Amino acid sequence: MASDRRKQSLLVFSLIILAIIIDQWIKIAVKTSMSLGEGIMVFGDWFQIRFIENNGMAFGMELFDKFFLTSFRMVAVCFLVYYLIRLLREARHPIGYIICIAMILAGAVGNLIDCLFYGEIFSSSYGQVAEFVPWGEGYATFMNGRVVDMFYFPLFTWPDWVPLIGGDIFFGPVFNFADSCVSCSVIALLIFYRDRFLK
């Protein structure tokens, strides 16, 4: 049983590390090869790599100031680490549920890294391609970095005759791999494990 728990823990934390590495690799590749606002067509108009940065939450939402959001992310990461370790120790939870929590943690850490460090280690992306700079010579201070987003799927535009949303793009937000980890995991939790929240 202890051996099974160790294997499960190794799998889960390996997935977290892999997701964080993928997220950061994509962000650094975009940030060091594209200027802010630049876009690349991948599959016609419906899938683009479009480099933007945001101060806010997932999908560019901005509800609170930057220091609060970064602090909130740090608290959320600490809670998720505690909760995930507890799940792994109890050894009575479905592996799918644990992996969903792990991917939410990975996504939260991925975006937290941007907020904490990117402002310190990158030059500005406005009108130029950013470069690595010595610590403290970047575009912002510690905890005030901007989150790098790049995936854009403007699948279609609503017809003008549709009330309230006519002329708008069906899915307009630009997002990143970390956002995807969080969103897909939350959807999976609601579909497959909602009974755990209703008890």
Is position 114 annotated as part of the catalytic site? no
Cα 122-181-57 angle, rounded to 5 deg: 55
CA dihedral 36, 55, 187, 197 (to 10 degrees): 170
Single out the catalytic residue among 149, 160, 168, 195: 149
Strand intervals (E) in the chain: 39-43, 47-54, 147-152, 174-175
What are the structure tokens assigned to 44, written together? 């016609």
Is position 179 annotated as part of the catalytic site? yes
Helix axes 2-31, 95-113, angle to 10 degrees: 30
DSSP conformation class of 149? E
Single out the catalytic residue among 4, 23, 179, 195: 179
Distance between CA atoms of residues 176 and 28, nearest Å = 12
Catalytic residues: 149, 179
